[in-house]
Amino acid sequence: MNMQNNIYVISGASSGIGKSCVDLLLEKGATIIGLDLHEPEIKDNNYQHFITDVTDENSILSAIKEIEKQFTIIDGLINCAGIFANSKPLYDITSDEWNKVISTNLTGTFLLSKYISKIMIKNMKGKIVNISCIRSKIFRPNMADYAASKGAIVSLTSAMALDLSKFNIQVNAVAPGFTYTGMTSKSFDNPEIRKMSENLIPGGKIAMPEDIGKVIIFLLSDSSDYINGETIFVDGGYGILK
């Protein structure tokens, strides 16, 4: 996968799967534009960072304005910014809590894709990778808000692919299974919870962010040119047991 000197935008770049994608792409000689609410622990000449709130269209537009000053081509976008469920049953979720999850996980993906795709359209090429989750089709109690946002990402991905295919832009999604990140570390650092979770996975282990990142990198590469509008489940086989 030759990604030398390619330019990628990554939201949620400061931690978890987003940070793993930054590291993997920097290793391949790519230039990365990271977007996040927090400053990253990334020191590399090929990395630039913009403090950006993906729920705020003006914040996104401010970042886009700076990006367009420096770059005329964007080769790929990874929509990694996201938050977890409020961990409440449907009947206890407030409108504000619901809107925060939907705004971050779904609307943020839409807004950033909308503006980055306009840059890609000018160059008649590009790759967009969205992040769904196994909870888009395998459910647990107390995550109606999260499941709704991640299920919608699957549909949005396919719809985006249809709108953008005539511009030689492919749009796909990755749906991670159990993955050790900052959002999940509190649970998976508990030996009992970790063992119980690993017993549910045919692969026998919790994924690390780079396990998901490698699939995302594949979807950004030329090797995936004939894949479009798909959601790839990266879950160690968890889904096939359900």
Active site residue 146: yes
| Residue 60 burial by Cβ neighbours in a 10 Å radius (0-12, 13-18, 19+) | buried
Q: Which of 115, 146, 180, 238 is catalytic?
A: 146
- Look up residue 239 and give its two tokens: 């889904």
Amino acid identity of residue 216, one-letter, is: I
- Look up residue 86 and give its two tokens: 């409020």
Q: Tell me which residues are annotated as active site.
A: 146
